[in-house]
Every structure is written in structure tokens, then in C-alpha cells.
Homo-oligomer: A and B are copies of this chain.
């Protein structure tokens, strides 16, 4: 569905959204521990996210990672897109060139519009939206 790296990315971004601010930056290693993501690997993922302006970072003493207000408005889809590329989620289950209603493969109807809905949800929901759910106790960020 989505790669391990994308899972790491989403978890890290949500952790930052919940626990950091521009005035309270967090070190890579301090995200690694509570989220159970290998430190060095997470650093790479954060690097990539930072390069694409999905998370904010500052080097040096007092530095670290955080989410700007703009960062929090980013749709979850963009995180996955940056890490996994753009056709991992939308591609056909049986590797047809295009996955659409006009030329469905035999498995297309088994997935139904579910895949399309999922992608739509990923595009419409921002980091902020998911954080709100967590704050309201509707969902839980796994450790």
C-alpha cells in the first residue's frame, strides 16, 4: 500500500505537529525514540521531507525539526508522494498501464472506488486535520 519509509515519514510529521513548534524544535534522535523509528534512517527521511518543505529545520545549537504553520497545512498525500513517488497508490493491481473504469482489470472492481476514495482522502486531509483527530481522542499516534 505505502512503503515503510512513508509510514515513518507520516509518523514523524505527526509527532512533530503534536510536539514541536518554531520555538520548540526537536532533534532527530528525540523523534526516533518515541516513534520507534531507526535514528539514522529517520534522519534521511526527515532530510528528504525538509528538502521538499514538508518539515522545517534549523542547524546548530537550539536547532532541530519543527512544523511551521504552512507545513501543518500540507496534505498527507504530499508526504507519501515525496517518499514513494506518484504511482505507487494509483497504479493498477495487475500492472495495467492505466487504472480506470473504462478498461478495468479483473481485480479493479474488487478494490472498487475504495482506492480512489483513499487517495482523495489523502489529498483532502492535511497534517493539521489528522492532528485534530488525535487531540480529540478520535485516533492514536502509534509509538
- Which of A's residues lie within 8 Å of B, judged by CB? 1-2, 4, 7, 10-11, 14, 76, 92-96, 103-115, 117-118, 121-122, 125, 130-131, 133-134, 138-142
Roughly how many angstroms separate A96 CA and B131 CA in the complex, as a whole number? 17
A87 to chain B, nearest CB (A): 12
Contact between chains at A76 and B107 (CB < 8 Å): yes
Contact between chains at B94 and A10 (CB < 8 Å): yes
- Residues of chain B within 8 A (CB-CB) of A107 are 10, 76, 130
A112-B121, A117-B112, A117-B114 known; A95-B139 Cβ under 8 A: no
In the complex, 30 of the A-B residue pairs with CB atoms within 8 angstroms, ordered by the A residue number, are A1-B93, A7-B93, A7-B94, A7-B95, A10-B94, A10-B106, A11-B94, A11-B95, A14-B106, A76-B107, A76-B110, A92-B142, A94-B142, A95-B142, A96-B140, A103-B140, A104-B139, A105-B140, A106-B141, A107-B130, A108-B139, A110-B118, A110-B121, A110-B122, A111-B118, A112-B117, A112-B118, A113-B114, A114-B114, A114-B117
